[in-house]
Every structure is written in structure tokens, then in C-alpha cells.
Amino acid sequence: MLTGRLVRKIHITDIPPKISKGSVHLGISTAAGKMDFLTRVILFISCITVSIANDLARGWNDDVAWVTLEDGIKAAKEQNKPMMLVIHKTWCGACKSLKPQFDSSKEIAELSKPFVMVNVLDDEEPEGEKYSPDGGYIPRVLFYDPDGNILDQYKNENGHPDYKYYHFNPTSIAATMKKVIKERNLEKPAGNEEL
């Protein structure tokens, strides 16, 4: 009689002498071999971790601690930090031009530390006036306080008056970040370096 269940059985009939039932044998016999294997496993896991973290960078600087918008809103509130939001599109020529410059900017990576950093791509762009205060052009770089209110005074000082949050190079972004850091007292107090 057929019951509709398939049961697979595995029979181990020929166990090599070095392996007992229930053990795992990796074929490593020397201490150096075991260390080499362990090093490779750690390196592999590190690569996976870096790959996952860098997925949020999307080519906008792997040295920046990017988070999703949802996590960024929560983190800004919990950590009492301002949030910097970069809105960009894959098809946007201006975004494609800015992206490699932003990516290679060590200054932006360093300045990003007192911020919760978010970049949204294509369909992730949030809706609402606080995400497009003077229009839906791209790229836009916006700053928010820990409660999620837009800090509309922080814009590209040398930009076009109709596109206040458009930045065409990392120099203007870094200048705006410095202004936020200074005016919101985010600078690390002098003399508090750890030994």
C-alpha cells in the first residue's frame, strides 16, 4: 500500500579507521594544517560579513557605516545623532558622476562618523515633503535631526537656489557635513583621546 511518503535511508557501511560514527573528519592531520584551515574559514566568514555590510554602500564609499532608511530613523533617535540621507537613482547621470567621487572621499568617510548614514536607491526613495523639500531632483543630500525633522538650513551653499540639496562634488557635501557638525556641537571634545 502506498502512503505518499518518501523515506530515504542512508547506510554507512564502510567507515575509514580514523573516523568514528558521529565525528567529522576534515582530513587535516597537522597542527599547521589545522591553523591554515581555521585561518581560511575566518577569512571566508570575514569576506561574507564585509560583503553584506558593503551591499548598503552601493558604490558610495565602503568606509561609511551605511544603514537602511528604516534602521537609520530608529538609530538616529536611539543614538541622538543626526541622519544624513543620500537619494540617488541607477539611471541618473549626475548620480553616476558624483558616486565615484563620493566613494573615494576619505574626508566624507571620516566626517560621516557622528551621523547615521543612509543612502536610498531607485524605488527605496521615501515619499513626503520632508524628503523632497524643494523638488524631486536627484541626487539630493538631506540632513535630519534625531527626531526625523528635516534640517533644511543645511544645503549646498554654492549650489543653484532652485536645487538647494543637489551637490555635484564631494567638496560641497563635506563642507555641509562640517557645518552640521560644528553648529550641532558634534565635534569630539579636545583632550578626550583614549590612550
Can you give the pLDDT at residue 49?
A: 42
Can you give the pLDDT at residue 22?
A: 53
Q: Could you give the 3-state DSSP secondary structure of residue 121?
A: strand
Q: Does the predicted TM-score (pTM) go above 0.85?
A: no
In a domain, 33, yes or no: no
In a domain, 160, yes or no: yes
Q: How would DSSP label each residue in 142-165?
A: EEE-TTS-B-TT-S-TTS-TT-TT
CA distance 21 to 25: 10
CA distance 115 to 141: 13
In a domain, 146, yes or no: yes
> Containing domain of residue 79, as a range?
62-183
Other C-beta atoms closer than 10 Å to the C-beta of 162 total 9
CA distance 14 to 195: 60
In a domain, 100, yes or no: yes
Number of structural domains in the chain: 1
Q: Give every residue of the chain whose pLDDT is below 50, as ranges.
A: 1-11, 15, 19, 23, 41, 43, 46-51, 189-195
Can you give the pLDDT at residue 44?
A: 54
Tell me if 145 sits within 8 A of 151, measured CB to CB: yes
In a domain, 51, yes or no: no
